[in-house]
Homo-oligomer: A and B are copies of this chain.
Amino acid sequence: MERKKPEKEQVSEWYLKTCKDAELFDYGPVKGTIVFRPYGFAIWEQMQKVLDKMIKDSGHKNVCFPSLIPYSFLSKEKEHTEGFSPQCAVVTHAGGQELEEPLVVRPTSETIMYNSFSKWIQSWRDLPFKINQWANIVRWEMRPYPFLRTTEFLWQEGHTAHASLEDAEKEMKEVLGFYTKFFEEYLAIPVLVGRKTENEKFAGAIYTDSCEAMMIDGKALQIATVHNLGQKFAKVFDVRFQNESGEKELVWQTSWGLSTRAIGGLIMTHGDLKGLMFPPKIAPIQAVIVPIWKTDSEKKDVFKLSQKIYEELKDEDIRVELDKREQFTPGWKFNDWEFKGVPIRIEIGPKEVEQKKAIVARRDNGEKNAVKLDRLEKEIENVFEDIQKNLFEQAKDLLEKNIFEAKDMDEFSKILNDKKGFIKAYWCENLECEQGIREKTKATPRNIPFDEKLKPGKCVYCGKEAKVRPIWAKSY
């Protein structure tokens, strides 16, 4: 069964309604803020569990810094200030008094962290210094959109210091490696990894790399970023180490983050007209058991078997729910759980009790199979694997079929308007051309993919010689 996706023009309406009705979020009282409701927050908890392990396994340790940062800290690095000041929420009063110095609610934590780094890092033995923080972040958002752009969001921010530029670059590769693994193997979202243009880099970085994903409407989502900060912050916060020869040197730094916008990315990659669809590896609820009965004696047997299966699956660490609600029909429940994107439904009726079987129904393709109880767990694991693979392949297929090449601006605009996908187009690396394209088409360079073997070409905008070919797209 082919899944029906919303029309590209209707994705926005579909997304807002689906996320709201599935009780993933509600709007907060302050403009641009959202409340993560239990089902929505459970997605983030699953993501945290997977990613936190990757972060720790690669030698980073978790910390927690204050959310309130003196304004003077933010203003130490010029580009950083210019980038973030306009987005800041500013605390001017506290404890019933006006503060001598205003504080900003963290829009990111480079400044407050590196102020501490300068105290903690003394010697080459302290390097590499690798920490991570799970935190809430406030950036005033003019065009808020649930999960994707919210005034307050949740993220992890990794921050590292190294003895050399090479070590910092090695770190970035490692992080991009586990981010990619996180997106592709767990979220089933294929990502394009590459370098942001100078104009699109993080305010304060020497360059930024990103993972970009394609949403079902062909728009791009920057779903994670990794920054090479060089020695810019080290200089202004005086983060130095004594090298093995006893000389003082500035450290080389990276920072990187992945936020709750990944929840939005997940929904806009796998959802369909029936509702949400979660890949089993990240689904807050992986399987739901729906008991079906008519008479009281059927009910007793069906509930008994359902409960038994529920407990067995739980013991196997499967995230399973048993839907005992009596005010709804089985059909209503089927729709409800399909809408909520639960990968597998297990139906237990009198016939299943008699035959020692269970019906296993897949959310992704609607297939239903009667499975003998003694091989139910094994079958469920197999189906999870198959759904996971299927979702990734569908997303990869969408991505590959919607990347086009454009040689001139006519082609460029036509693709963007008619096909609504990503565009590979040569660019001469001049800011004027980048801005020209943006003004003309609203597309921006998402990133310049790594490891592309390219002949030089002509800039799609000005026709001059060009050595790079970014991916261009409209984006969230």
Given A91-B89, A92-B92, verify A30-B62 contact (CB < 8 Å). no
**A356 located at the interface, meaning its Cβ lies under 8 Å from any Cβ of chain B in the complex:** no
CB distance from A77 to the nearest CB of B (A): 16
Judge if A36 is at the interface, Cβ distance under 8 Å.
yes
Q: Is A324 an interface residue (CB 8 A)?
A: no
The answer to whether B66 and A33 have CB atoms under 8 Å apart is yes
A152 on the B face (CB < 8 A): yes
* Copies assembled: 2
Given the known A-B contacts A38-B131, A95-B140, A327-B125, are A28 and B66 also in contact in the complex, defined by CB atoms under 8 Å?
A: yes
Q: Is A1 in contact with chain B by the CB < 8 A criterion?
A: no
Report Cα–Cα, A125/B325, bound state, in Å.
Answer: 10
**Chain B residue, CB-CB nearest to A68:** B30
Q: Are A112 and B68 in contact (CB under 8 A)?
A: no
Give complex CA distance A125, B327 in Å: 10
Q: Which B residues touch A176, using CB under 8 A? A: none
Instruction: Report the interface size class on chain A.
Output: 35 or more
A398 to chain B minimum Cβ distance, whole angstroms, is 30
A353 contacts the other chain (Cβ, under 8 Å)?
no
Secondary structure of the A contact surface, majority rule: mixed
CB-CB under 8 A for A116 and B26, given A61-B38, A95-B87? yes
Given A89-B94, A136-B136, CB of A35 within 8 Å of CB of B65: yes
Q: Name A45's contact: one of B26, B28, B62, B94 (CB within 8 Å).
A: B62
Tell me if B66 and A38 are in contact (CB < 8 A).
no
Interface residues of A in 26-81 (CB under 8 A from B): 26, 28-30, 33-38, 41-42, 44-45, 61-70, 73
Least CB distance, A121 to chain B, in whole angstroms: 13
A-B interface, 3 closest residue pairs, ranked by CB to CB distance from nearest: A95-B140, A38-B61, A33-B66
Extra A-B contacts (7), CB below 8 Å, given A26-B119, A30-B70, A89-B103: A36-B65, A38-B131, A42-B61, A85-B96, A86-B96, A92-B92, A95-B140
